[in-house]
Amino acid sequence: MHKLLTSALLILILATPYSAFSHEGEDHSEAESSPQLESGTGWRVVRSIEMGSSGKFVHMVLIDHSVYTDKTVYSAAINRLCRSDDDFCRIRFWSQERFIPEKASLTIEQNKQLKAEYIVNKAGGVHQLRWSCTVDPNKAHCF
């Protein structure tokens, strides 16, 4: 009986098409041609949007909702996405993906849900990190 079951299992495995073992929806050619968006522990870039045709991008980052008050998660994303020699770097952070915009401008609701914004613009002398009051309740630091 054991030998019969082993033979039947072997036949089933050999008869199963190879594609059944691949990941559903996986397309290796597309994965190789499209760049991987940055991510780290507690955060990931959802999209990077060019501001007009300036060549400058706004990184739209999702922070895991369970850690959105942990400022070290934001720092890790900033350190990964912005280099010290960058003339321009802008990152906006949300903790709910549904509020992350498809374009650089924000609706009122998207702006309300914004958790933090980091911007460096050396030409304009700007280097700031601003927090929503839900992340940093100190009224002197939050928007």
Nearest-angstrom CA–CA distance, 49 and 37: 12
Question: Residue 35: what pLDDT?
Answer: 55
% the chain with pLDDT above 90:
61
Q: DSSP label at 44?
A: E
For the chain, where are the E strands, in sequence order? 39-40, 43-50, 57-63, 88-94, 116-121, 126-131
What is the model's pTM? 0.73
Structure tokens at 45: 């870039």
Rounded average pLDDT over 104-109: 94
- Domains annotated for the chain, with CATH where assigned, are 32-131 (3.30.300)
Which residue, among 125, 113, 47, has the nearest Cα to 88 in the 3D structure?
125
Summarize pLDDT for 56-81 with one digit per residue, the tens.
999 999 999 999 999 999 999 999 99
> 7 pLDDT exceeds 70?
no
> 4 pLDDT exceeds 80?
no
**3-class DSSP assignment, residue 8:** helix
* Amino acid at site 84: S
Helical segments of 16-141, H only: 28-33, 71-81, 108-113
Question: Residue 37: what pLDDT?
Answer: 77
